[in-house]
Structure 1
């Protein structure tokens, strides 16, 4: 009986301490987010690029074409499992970048393409989406641990939320550091998308960009990037 009481007392003491340590660590990650790395990497930065269906992919590919390819490499493209259009567009683009020697041998190929479960399909009930959201979160965590991206680019598809949340959790736990760059879609003129609102309010994004000045006025922590399309 006394041992049980001691264990209960120890738990009552340990839980507040753990919560306090976790809160301090979250505050540190939020304060540290957005600051340049203390050391410049000697090689390229592992880059995770989240693609969404339709206009999201078109916007993101337009952004990707402006990246310094030798700095952001290797590149990992991720799209929803039910999205059959986005990854082929990225594959076509990456094939155009492959450098070939005079004898025809490929010497550089720095891209990989992956799919992830979608949290909720259009029209799916909220009850059934609980299970699919859990699967998406677990799959996202597995991908983040596997890739260990140093930079994440996303621009609004719901697919990015489990990935960004997983990357943020790894930062809190001290198991890796990913700089998250969120670019709000050009279609969002007066208010943020749901994905953007979550990342903005929860302060998970290291850099948050909008493409309309009136939206930047409503979101003072966001940066006005101008039209990217």
Structure 2
């Protein structure tokens, strides 16, 4: 390869990088102008809403958040996602549906956990990579394309959020990501929160001092 061909290749590469960076700037919600907003669960009645139940405490918090909303029972298309083997979340979900008399259609898409409690470092990396790949494959097969995705911090939420952000980056998706940080995060964000902070359209924390640390976040008090 001659000098001219190398220069052309380098210039082409730089142009591609610049274009991708510009596209990323326009795609990142955190870099856009933010107007005064209302509670994130308002005005979604006519939307196609997908909610992640992330097992354990995350599921408990999410159910309490949804139970405290007057909007959720009015949502016409409500879909739930659970991790594989998470029978507890399915029990909580069934109880929630019975108590709120939700008549909308609900679904459960099972996904592998990003990592298990007590799992070793190397093993957790392998599990995470598998989870990301499997999540992308599973969601690419979904006929349902949600207008809104609601998550509250489990590790499973990271690949899901990045999947929908990737679609938005490529210009083939418009799903708005609503991330609600766990009540337990008082002084700093969780790892999942830090990874999803920049790509979330609405990032909700439940403590005022945490909102001050992260200016792109919103706080409406304790939601659980």
Whether TM exceeds 0.5 here: the answer is yes
Deviation at 1:173? 0.6
Q: 1:69 to 1:211 in 2, by over 3 A?
A: closer
Q: 1:181 aligns with which of 165, 169, 178?
A: 178
Structure 1 residue runs without a partner (length 5+): 100-107
Deviation at 1:34? 6.3
Which residue in the other structure is 2:93 paired with?
90
Check the 8 A contact 1:34/1:179 in 2, yes or no. Answer: no
Q: What are the within-5 Å matches in structure 2 for residues 36-47 of structure 1? A: 44-47=46-49
RMSD, matched Cα: 2.8
Check the 8 A contact 1:33/1:179 in 2, yes or no. Answer: no
* Offset from partner CA, 1:60-113 (integer Å, 9 cap, x none): 1122231524764422211221322112211332345567xxxxxxxx541111
Distance 2:153 2:70 in 1: 19
Deviation at 1:15? 2.1
Check the 8 A contact 2:188/2:210 in 1, yes or no. Answer: yes
Question: How many residues in Structure 1 have an aligned counterpart in Structure 2?
Answer: 213
* Offset from partner CA, 1:160-206 (integer Å, 9 cap, x none): 00100111111111110111111111111122111112222xx0111
Structure 2 residue runs without a partner (length 5+): 38-42
Q: 1:164 aligns with which of 161, 166, 174?
A: 161
> Given the two structures, how large is their TM-score scaled by the length of structure 1?
0.80
Which residue in the other structure is 1:102 paired with?
none
Check the 8 A contact 2:78/2:104 in 1, yes or no. Answer: no
Check the 8 A contact 2:75/2:104 in 1, yes or no. Answer: no
Deviation at 1:142? 2.9
Q: Counterpart of 1:111 in 2: which secondary structure?
A: coil
Which structure's CA Rg is the greater one?
1
Q: What are the within-5 Å matches in structure 2 for residues 30-179 of structure 1? A: 30=28, 31-32=31-32, 44-65=46-67, 66=69, 68-69=71-72, 72-96=75-99, 108-145=103-140, 146=142, 147-179=144-176
> Given the two structures, how large is their TM-score scaled by the length of structure 2?
0.82
